[in-house]
C-alpha cells in the first residue's frame, strides 16, 4: 500500500496537518465540571450554582496554567498548581472546604 497525501477539495493543496481546539469545541468540559461540582456540594450539604462555578473555574484555569513554565519535568508543580486553584476558588466562593 502506498501513501497518498490528502488534498483539500476546495484548494487542491496538500493537507499537512489537521488541528482541533478540543477544549470547549470537541470536549464539553462545562457540563462535566458543573455536574461533579454539584454532586460534591450536595454531598457536603451545600447549595452551589454549579454552572456559575464551572464558568468561574474556567476563568481561573488559563491564568493558573500561564503561571507554570511548559516543562514536562515540572509536572508535579502543574498538578499542585491546579489543586491550589480549585482550593482557592472553593474557599473564596463557597462554604465548602476541601477535606
Report angle CA 55, 95, 43 to the nearest 5 degrees: 85
Q: Tell me how far CA of residue 17 lies from CA of 4, 13, 26, 27, in angstroms.
A: 14, 12, 17, 20
Span 57-81, pLDDT tens digits: 888 877 777 776 666 555 554 455 5
Span 17-27, pLDDT tens digits: 877 766 667 77
Q: What is the domain extent for residue 4? A: 1-99
Per the structure, the count of domains in the chain is 1
Q: Where are the beta strands (DSSP E) in 30-78?
A: none
Amino acid at each position: 500500500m502506498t501513501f497518498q497525501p490528502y488534498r483539500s477539495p476546495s484548494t487542491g493543496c496538500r493537507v499537512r496537518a489537521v488541528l482541533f481546539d478540543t477544549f470547549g469545541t470537541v470536549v464539553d468540559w462545562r457540563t462535566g465540571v458543573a455536574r461533579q461540582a454539584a454532586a460534591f456540594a450536595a454531598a457536603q450539604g451545600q447549595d452551589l450554582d454549579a454552572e456559575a462555578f464551572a464558568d468561574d473555574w474556567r476563568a481561573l484555569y488559563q491564568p493558573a496554567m500561564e503561571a507554570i513554565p511548559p516543562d514536562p519535568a515540572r509536572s508535579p508543580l502543574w498538578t499542585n498548581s491546579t489543586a491550589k486553584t480549585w482550593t482557592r476558588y472553593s474557599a473564596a466562593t463557597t462554604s465548602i472546604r476541601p477535606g
